Amino acid sequence: MNHLHQWLCRSNVWRATVRQRVPWVIGDTDLGPNVLEVGPGPGLTTDLLRIAVRQLTALEIDAKLAAALTLRLRGTNARVVEGDATEMPFGNSEFSGTVSFTMLHHVPSPELQDKVLREVFRVLKPGGLFVGSDSLQSWLMRIIHVGDTLVPVNPDTFGARLQRAGFEVLEIQKNAHAFRFRARRPGAEPAKTQNHC
């Protein structure tokens, strides 16, 4: 990220935006006990998420951001894993819920973005929810990303992309600055059987 972008992502302005956006995206959604956050960056969203869930794993590709977040979250219910969201270092059906806040446009191509969606589907338990948001294209967005990766996500076609990855799309909604989405991996965990003597 360029210096302006780094500053903005740690600023009080962005902190206030995040405080509004996270509840707008999650609402009363039950993400379950073991949640994955894809691309937390400096962790402003992580700070809000970890107080709302039992166990949180944050997957961050940037080594410096991952190290700083690991240090800051030591001793909490959140763990940080350095890794690439297009090849997640997790097992199949490992997480009860997954979230992604304003990170998909940092993925360098639509094809790699779709690979992220397929990986989220893979690591999510059947019946688990994938919720998130991304910013809408604007002149300010382009200025902030000068010299950075910017591959905007079109909310009008994003539902079809989620479906191609295997998801059932529950909602895609726009406001003036961003869009949010809610999707589900179809199916449900098989019921546990009890042995009777």
Q: How far is CA 36 from CA 29, 85, 126, in A?
A: 14, 11, 15
Is position 63 within any domain? yes
Is position 27 within any domain? no
DSSP state of 95: E
Which domain CATH number covers 53? 3.40.50.150
Domain span at residue 13?
A: 3-18+33-184
Cα–Cα distance, 172 to 44 (Å, whole number): 23
Is position 66 within any domain? yes
pLDDT tens digits, 48-82: 999 999 999 999 999 999 999 999 999 999 999 99
Cα–Cα distance, 15 to 47 (Å, whole number): 10
Is position 197 within any domain? no
Please give the tally of structural domains in the chain: 1
Strands 55-60 and 34-38: parallel
pLDDT tens digits, 130-175: 999 998 876 566 556 556 767 889 999 999 999 999 999 999 999 9
Q: How far is CA 188 from CA 27, 41, 60, 124, 166, in A?
A: 22, 31, 28, 11, 14
pLDDT at 150: 74
